Amino acid sequence: MTSQDHTQPGLTTPASRGTETRKASRRFWPTRLERKQLLVALIFVGPWIIGFLAFTLYPILYTIRLSFTRYDGFNDPRWIGLDNYRRFLDDDRFSQALWNTLYYTGLAVPIGVVVAMVIALAMNQDLPEIPLYRTLLYLPSVMPLFALSFVFWALLDPNEGFMNQALRSIGISPPNWFGDVDTAKPALVMMAQWGAGQIALVFLAGLKGIPQHLYEAAMIDGAGVWSRFRNVTLPLMTPVILYDLILGISGGLQVFTQMFIITNGGPANSTTSLVLYLYNNAFRFNGNMGYASAIGVFLFVLTLIVAVLVFTTSNKWVNYDLN
């Protein structure tokens, strides 16, 4: 009787298992068409990758390295370990700059959300002239920040500024807006709202995305204007508000231009932000590049921590359900 190889269904021989393994391994290797597509993709994405590596990642890593050194911008960096970071504890100017930055961000960002929401609601009205109104409300945000700084410098001039003249005309003694410790930071916060029209357009897009049948159902239930805003508009606008908060916090913690141009950190360092203090250490205070780099690393970590906190708490108040 001749022996025959009877293979039961569902069982594989060692040879067949080896063939399947080789086929599976070949599946992970890109085909000629896939390699060609990858090459085309790299050609288009390559400039961005090069720019990111050269102008973003490398400066970040180099800044972190410099933060552990004493460096004046001319001589070779000298390693000093954590001395630059320990210096934060005894630096009163750094503490003041940190407080000024948190004060500005803590006021300018929430107020900016309210102002942008009000402007967006005004833009969303069904009026024949609304395209003109949208343009006029958006135009101030197009003005460059350095030009806007000079405009507000002139508007709030203690002697001839339009704002102070208007206050005098109604019998109010005007303050020295940018020259007084008590009013300098609030004046800068007020100035930050001038460009709210830009984020208001984002809010307007969010308002346009809210289904109208939700408002109709609320009106059938007898909801008034405020009730519809509180129970329909506001909950469904929370994703856009989250977006604005992240951008606003990032921009607020990095505020520099208006403080540099208008007040130069004064009076009495009451408007010196972290970025302005970083700039002064790097280019004014005998070139303390190492300490300025440590401030930059601290600001990066602070921004990251605040952003993470906002994102982790957003699950409690951000609503993504349109139903």
**Residue 228 is assigned to a structural domain of this protein:** yes
pLDDT for the residue 322: 65
**Residue 76 is assigned to a structural domain of this protein:** no
Question: Quick one: what percent of the chain has pLDDT higher than 70?
Answer: 91
pLDDT for the residue 3: 46
pLDDT over 60 (residue 9): no
**Residue 61 is assigned to a structural domain of this protein:** no
**Residue 201 is assigned to a structural domain of this protein:** yes
Of 126 and 80, the structure prediction assigns the larger pLDDT to 80
Q: Are 79 and 69 in contact (CB under 8 A)?
A: yes
Encoding tokens for residue 257? 């231009």
Q: Are 271 and 263 in contact (CB under 8 A)?
A: yes
Mean predicted confidence (pLDDT) in 133-160: 86
pLDDT for the residue 23: 52
Residue-wise pLDDT for 39-53, tens only, equals 999 999 999 999 999
**Separation CA 134–CA 125 (nearest Å):** 10
pLDDT for the residue 18: 53
pLDDT for the residue 30: 77
Residue-wise pLDDT for 50-99, tens only, equals 999 999 999 999 999 999 999 988 889 999 999 999 999 999 999 999 99
- Helices within 209-323 (DSSP H only): 212-220, 225-228, 234-253, 257-258, 274-283, 289-313
pLDDT for the residue 323: 61
Domain extent, residue 98, equals 90-316
As a whole number of Å, the end-to-end CA separation of the chain is 76
pLDDT for the residue 2: 47
For residue 1, what pLDDT band results from cuts at 50, 70 and 90?
very low
Is residue 267 reached through a cis peptide bond, with omega within 30 degrees of 0 on the bond before it?
yes
Measured from the Cβ of residue 219, the count of other Cβ atoms closer than 10 Å reads 14
pLDDT for the residue 16: 52
pLDDT for the residue 66: 94
The pTM is what?
Answer: 0.84
For residue 28, what pLDDT band results from cuts at 50, 70 and 90?
low
**Residue 31 is assigned to a structural domain of this protein:** no
**Residue 106 is assigned to a structural domain of this protein:** yes
**Residue 11 is assigned to a structural domain of this protein:** no
Q: The domain spanning residue 305 has which CATH number?
A: 1.10.3720.10
Residue-wise pLDDT for 243-262, tens only, equals 999 999 999 999 999 999 99
**Residue 36 is assigned to a structural domain of this protein:** no
Number of domains comprising the chain: 1
pLDDT for the residue 17: 52
Strands (E), the chain: 69-70, 78-79
